[in-house]
Amino acid sequence: MSGSGAGKRLILMGPPGGGKGTQAKRLQERLGIVHLSTGDMLRAAVAAGTAVGKQAKAVMDAGKLVSDEILVAMIAERTAKEDCAKGFILDGFPRTLPQAEALDKLLAEKGQKLDKVIEVTVPDARLIERITGRFTCAKCGEGYHDKFKQPRVAGVCDVCGSKEFIRRADDTVETVSARLKAYHAQTAPLLPYYRAKGLLEQIDGDRDMNAVTIDLERVLT
Ligand code: ADP
Ligand code: ADP
Ligand code: ZN
């Protein structure tokens, strides 16, 4: 990506299954800034059996939101690491108004600010199919979809050649409606919050992955 106007501290917002992770991974490579997914961090904590992981597991499986305290502490710690100095793309955080306010405070203390908040919009009706078809490479984390993005060679990861794939415990039809409810009730109020600050951009995520990436680049250049 060219242009000196490219933002450094970005938030990628959007509903569960809307394509945030897919696009954030692409942006990370183009912009040379790290992709911070709070969902990935929480799943790592669950897998490692940490205290946070133990608290978060049942909440995540129910499609509800983990507490603001846990999330704010997690992001404060992560963004203090050296690899975040050049900037970062937040994916899945903030998800509540108190999280957004805590982030503002955290950045202000370092004399930093957000450059842009981008909402990838996708209608609810599409998300069930997106979520229930999702799987990822167990080794490198590359994302795939049963219908929209299968590995080039069936059963083999395009990126690392691994033959092991995983599906998320919360990617079920039952959990999707709870996650969508949480999104509309708790996360959607962040849109007017960021619009009022002049930071919000919206792009149509209900299209081919590459078309979405092109729009994102246009917004960030
Ligand atoms: P999605 O793919 O649905 O956007 P994520 O991987 O971002 O999901 O998050 C998975 C789950 O982790 C959420 O349903 C929620 O339980 C928890 N989670 C992730 N980020 C946050 C956050 N910022 N606040 C509260 N809970 C979160
Ligand atoms: P999120 O991080 O917002 O939860 P993901 O990036 O994991 O969403 O995307 C959810 C699923 O939908 C994945 O299986 C992904 O491969 C697929 N996907 C992502 N973007 C698109 C798109 N534009 N069209 C069709 N499928 C997509
Ligand atoms: Zn892989």
Atom of ligand 2 at shortest range from CA of 122: 23
Interaxial angle between packed helices 124-132 and 173-182, expressed in degrees from 0 to 180 and rounded to the nearest 10: 130
Measure the CA–CA gap between 5 and 182, rounded to whole angstroms. Answer: 34
CB atoms within 5 A of ion ligand 3 belong to 137, 139-140, 142, 157, 159-160, 162
Calculate the average pLDDT of the chain: 95
Measure the CA–CA gap between 31 and 125, rounded to whole angstroms. Answer: 32
Contact call for residues 142 and 40 (beta carbons, < 8 A): no
Residue 24 confidence (pLDDT) = 96
Over the Cα atoms of the chain, what is R_g?
Answer: 17
DSSP label of 82 = G
Q: Which-ligand-closest: CA of 161? A: 3
Q: Is the CB of 9 under 6 A from ligand 2?
A: no
Measure the CA–CA gap between 184 and 217, rounded to whole angstroms. Answer: 26
Dump pLDDT digits (tens) for 180-194: 999 999 999 999 999
Residue 179 has pLDDT above 80, yes or no: yes
221 pLDDT band, cuts 50/70/90, is confident
Centre of ligand 3 to C-alpha 151, Å, is 10
Give percent of the chain with pLDDT exceeding 70. 97
Query: What are the backbone angles phi and psi of residue 158, rounded to the nearest 5°?
Result: -60, -35
| The two three-digit tokens of residue 64, written as one number | 């509800």
Residue 7 confidence (pLDDT) = 56
Centre of ligand 3 to C-alpha 143, Å, is 9
Residue 1 has pLDDT above 70, yes or no: no
Catalytic residue among 8, 43, 95, 116: 95
Residue in 64, 62, 110, 45 with CA at minimum distance from that of residue 84: 110
Dump pLDDT digits (tens) for 51-93: 999 999 999 999 999 999 999 999 999 999 999 999 999 999 9
Centre of ligand 1 to C-alpha 34, Å, is 18
> Is there a catalytic annotation at residue 195?
no
Residue in 48, 101, 53 with CA at minimum distance from that of residue 74: 53
Question: Which sign does the torsion angle of CA 196, 200, 204, 205 carry?
Answer: negative
